[in-house]
């Protein structure tokens, strides 16, 4: 009973140890990809001051579907009509899982140090080539894997500029969407320095004129007016029954970085790279993040920081003009991950306390106008007959918010996202597909080999059991010495002698007792006998003593 109890305890202990180790391993794995205790932000589905719910609400109000992508941008490959889809990446807050995959050169790679795997980046590139629009808002996160594929790179260090919002603090920078920086007049932007968007302000639709401007031109030509409800995707420009398109954008950014243009890893299909906004020429970047700016004639340990004019917005297009009337799509890079947060995007609501208590008033800005203009350009339906803009979103228009790289507010959501990511990885990535096929094959083989139905019951009658003697003794009993011993025992028994009497008997007397010359010779001669001789002797012994 005690032994049974010990064995049960041992079994329970082993089970506990096994599951304990499994939980620890799984926990260790999960902890690497789940960010406990970090608040979620930049989510289109939360309505804190630092989320994007106002932007999403505006899009929905325009009759455009919005979706979140929680697993992987690999799913962009599945879209049927990428031309009418805009993919919004607002802050890449965490790295991707390092799972094996084929790189561009069909080599298996593991490391993805910045946000997205090669397959995911390829999926985004492919999406843009097919006409999709991507908005990338990033400052210090992991968006560089995408950026580099489009020939740009985020500096990931904070930029300070003289064009900052004085009533707030130096982290809030004014940026104008134009090729030359806007300047300050005291504590406000000098209106004389405000210009227009370099592309959207062009006069020819085929050279990139904004689609709302084209639509406004068209209506002016036809002498038609539109109500605010009919203004559709251009409602942000609706004034007095017409679309008054204005291409100047005074944008408010917060904790920004800079964007470099690097041609080296740019995808060949990305034809146009255009700078859309720059800092002032007196901007500095705190490269080492020590909170101090040390600038010299060269970069070294004493003067590690940068000074000058930096790019704050870059547009990369898969067409020459970036025009929506051309086939390729475009990517808008903004050097601030929080450009569209509720506090800035919906500054009126924020100032009214809609998103929680406020400390300072956020000044009026054109972030909303710019963002909605991007959406309008990307998703406006073109008349199939004339190819002219209709002002309304395409029936299949959709905006997808990338939530896959956002920290989620609870562990369950994060776990779900990670598992969904793994599922998409295994059904979307080439190497993973291969692995999955092999896995399924092994699974079937395993089922085939290992899974057995219970054996049919059958009574087996089985008493076939043999007990053997000692076979080793057989050779011993064929030896002449043993035969001699057996024979002498027979002689002794037959004559009724004790062992002592027999041992003390003279040889002559024994010979007389045996009375067979062959057997006498066998007993008294120590020599080797052939097999035939031994057989003959045994036969003689058997007969010996019979009357």
Partner 1 sequence: MWTRKASFTFAGGISLILIGMMISNHQMMILGLSFVAFIVVNSWISGHGDVEVQRTLSADNLYKGDDLYVELLVTNRSSRRTQTLEVYDNVPHEMKLRSGLNQMQMNLGPGESARIRYVLRCPLRGHFSIGPVSLRYRNTFNLSVEEMFVDHHSDMIVFPQLRDVEEAFIRSRTPKMYTGATTLRTPGPGTEFYSLREYVPGDPFKNINWKAFARTGDLMINEKCRDAVTDLYVILDSRDISRIGTVLKNPLEVGTVAAASLANFFLQRRDSVSLIIYDEKLSYLPPDTGDKQHFKILSSLAGVAPKGAMPLQAVTNSLAARFSRGSPIFIISSCEGDGTVPAAIRDLVGRGHEVTVLSPSSIDFERLVSRIPRMSYEVLKLERQNRMTSLAGFGSQVIDWMPDMDLSQALLQVRGY
Strands 398-402, 389-393: pairing kind: unpaired
List the structure tokens of 342. 């509720």
Residue among 11 and 479 whose Cβ is closer to partner 1: 479
Shortest Cβ distance from residue 164 to partner 1 (Å)?
49
What is the smallest separation between the CB atom of 23 and partner 1, expressed in angstroms? 24
CB of 328 to partner 1, least distance (A): 24
The tokens describing 163, both together, are: 């064009």
Angle, helices 480-494 vs 517-524, to 10°: value is: 120
Residue placing its CB nearer to partner 1 in the complex, 209 or 492 = 492
| Spatial distance between the Cα atoms of 97 and 422, rounded to a whole number of angstroms | 9
- Please give the structure tokens belonging to residue 53: 């719910």
Phi-psi region of 439 (alpha: psi -120 to 50; beta: other; left: phi over 0): alpha
- Give the SS3 label for residue 134: strand
Task: Give the shortest CB-145-to-partner 1 separation in angstroms.
Answer: 24
Q: How far is the CB of 105 from partner 1 (least distance, A)?
A: 23
Nearer to partner 1, 240 or 475 (CB): 475
- Strand ranges inside 20-76, DSSP E: 65-69
Q: What minimum distance in Å lies between the beta carbon of 531 and partner 1? A: 8
Nearest residue (CB) to partner 1, 387 versus 469: 469
Among residues 276, 390, 257, 387, which one has the least CA distance to residue 322? 276
Cβ-based nearer residue to partner 1, 242 or 497: 497
Instruction: List C-alpha distances in Å: 135 to 37, 57, 273, 341.
Output: 28, 17, 14, 14
CA separation for the pair 408, 57 (Å, rounded) = 20
Given the rule CB under 8 A, which residues bind partner 1? 78, 423, 426-428, 433, 436, 440, 443-444, 447, 451-454, 457, 459-469, 471, 473-475, 477-478, 482-483, 486-487, 489-490, 493-494, 496, 534-535, 538-539, 541-542
Q: Nearer Cβ to partner 1, position 111 or 471?
A: 471
Neighbours of 33 (CB within 10 A): 16
Question: Which positions ≥6 away from 18 have C-beta within 8 Å?
Answer: none
Shortest Å, Cβ 475 to partner 1: 7
Q: How far is the CB of 16 from partner 1 (least distance, A)?
A: 24
Rounded distance between C-alpha atoms, residue 172 and residue 165, angstroms: 6
Q: What are the angstrom distances between the C-alpha of 208 and each of 203, 204, 326?
A: 8, 7, 9
N-terminal to C-terminal alpha carbon distance within the chain: 68
- For partner 1, the closer CB: 388 or 435: 435
Nearer to partner 1, 79 or 341 (CB): 79
Pick 75 or 251: Cβ nearer partner 1: 75
Other Cβ atoms closer than 10 A to 243: 25
To the nearest whole angstrom, how small is the minimum distance from the Cβ of residue 448 to partner 1?
8
Residues 307, 332: Cα–Cα separation, whole Å: 24
Give alpha helix (H) positions in 185-311. 211-222
CB of residue 471 vs partner 1: minimum separation in angstroms?
Answer: 6
Comparison of 188 and 442: residue with beta carbon closer to partner 1: 442
Query: Residue 373: how many CA atoms within 13 Å on its side-chain side?
Result: 28
CB-nearer residue toward partner 1: 360 or 473:
473
CA distance 228 to 404: 36
* CB-CB contact of 135 with 86 (8 Å): yes
Least separation in angstroms between residue 519's CB and partner 1 is 13
Q: Within its chain, how far is the Cα of 453 from the centroid?
A: 39
Kindly tell me which of 294 and 426 has the beta carbon lying closer to partner 1: 426
Taking only Cα atoms into account, the Rg of the chain, rounded to an integer number of angstroms, comes to 46
CA atoms within 13 A on the CB side of 245: 27
CB of 537 to partner 1, least distance (A): 10
């Amino acid at each position: 009973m005690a032994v049974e109890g010990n064995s049960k305890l041992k079994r329970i202990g082993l089970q506990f140890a096994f599951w304990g180790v499994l939980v620890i391993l799984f926990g260790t794995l999960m902890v690497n990809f789940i960010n406990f205790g970090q608040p979620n932000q930049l989510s289109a589905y939360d309505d804190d001051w630092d989320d994007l719910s106002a932007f999403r609400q505006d899009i929905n109000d325009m009759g455009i579907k919005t979706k979140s992508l929680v697993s992987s941008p690999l799913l962009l490959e599945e879209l049927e009509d990428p031309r009418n889809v805009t993919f919004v990446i607002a802050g890449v807050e965490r790295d991707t899982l390092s799972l094996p995959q084929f790189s561009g050169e069909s080599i298996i790679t593991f490391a993805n140090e910045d946000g997205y795997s090669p397959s995911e980046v390829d999926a985004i590139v492919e999406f843009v080539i097919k006409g999709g629009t991507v908005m990338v808002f990033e400052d210090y996160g992991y968006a560089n894997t995408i950026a580099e594929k489009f020939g740009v790179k985020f500096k990931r260090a904070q930029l300070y500029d003289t064009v900052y919002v004085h009533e707030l603090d130096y982290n809030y920078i004014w940026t104008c969407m134009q090729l030359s920086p806007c300047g300050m007049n005291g504590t406000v932007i000098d209106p004389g320095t405000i210009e227009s968007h370099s592309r959207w302000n062009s006069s020819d639709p085929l050279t990139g004129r904004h689609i709302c401007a084209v639509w406004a031109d068209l209506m002016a030509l036809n002498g038609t007016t539109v109500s605010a409800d009919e203004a559709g995707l251009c409602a942000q420009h609706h004034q007095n029954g017409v679309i008054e398109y204005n291409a100047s954008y005074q944008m408010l950014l917060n904790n920004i970085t800079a964007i470099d243009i690097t041609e080296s890893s740019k995808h060949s299909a990305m034809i146009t790279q255009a700078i859309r906004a720059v800092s002032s020429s007196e901007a500095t970047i705190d490269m080492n993040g020590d909170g101090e700016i040390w600038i010299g004639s060269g970069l070294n340990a004493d003067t590690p920081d940068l000074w000058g004019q930096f790019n704050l917005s870059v547009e990369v297009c898969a067409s020459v003009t970036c025009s929506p009337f051309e086939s390729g799509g475009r990517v808008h890079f903004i050097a601030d991950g929080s450009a569209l947060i509720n506090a800035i995007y919906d500054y009126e609501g924020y100032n009214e306390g809609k998103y929680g208590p406020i400390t300072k008033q956020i000044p009026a800005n054109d972030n909303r106008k710019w963002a909605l203009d991007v959406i309008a350009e990307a998703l406006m339906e073109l008349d199939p007959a004339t190819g002219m803009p209709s002002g309304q979103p395409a029936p299949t228009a959709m905006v997808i918010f990338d939530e896959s790289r956002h920290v989620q507010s609870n562990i369950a959501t994060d776990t779900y996202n990670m598992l969904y990511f793994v599922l998409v990885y295994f059904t979307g990535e080439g190497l993973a597909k291969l692995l999955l096929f092999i896995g399924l094959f092994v699974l079937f083989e395993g089922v085939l080999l290992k899974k057995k139905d219970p054996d049919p019951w059958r009574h087996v009658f089985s008493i076939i059991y043999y007990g053997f003697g000692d076979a080793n003794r057989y050779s011993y009993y064929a030896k002449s010495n043993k035969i001699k011993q057996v024979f002498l025992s027979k002689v002794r028994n037959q004559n009724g002698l004790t062992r002592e009497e027999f041992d003390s008997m003279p040889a002559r007397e024994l010979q007389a007792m045996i009375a067979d010359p062959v057997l006498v010779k066998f007993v008294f001669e120590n020599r080797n006998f052939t097999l035939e001789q031994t057989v003959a002797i045994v036969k003689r012994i058997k007969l010996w003593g019979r009357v």
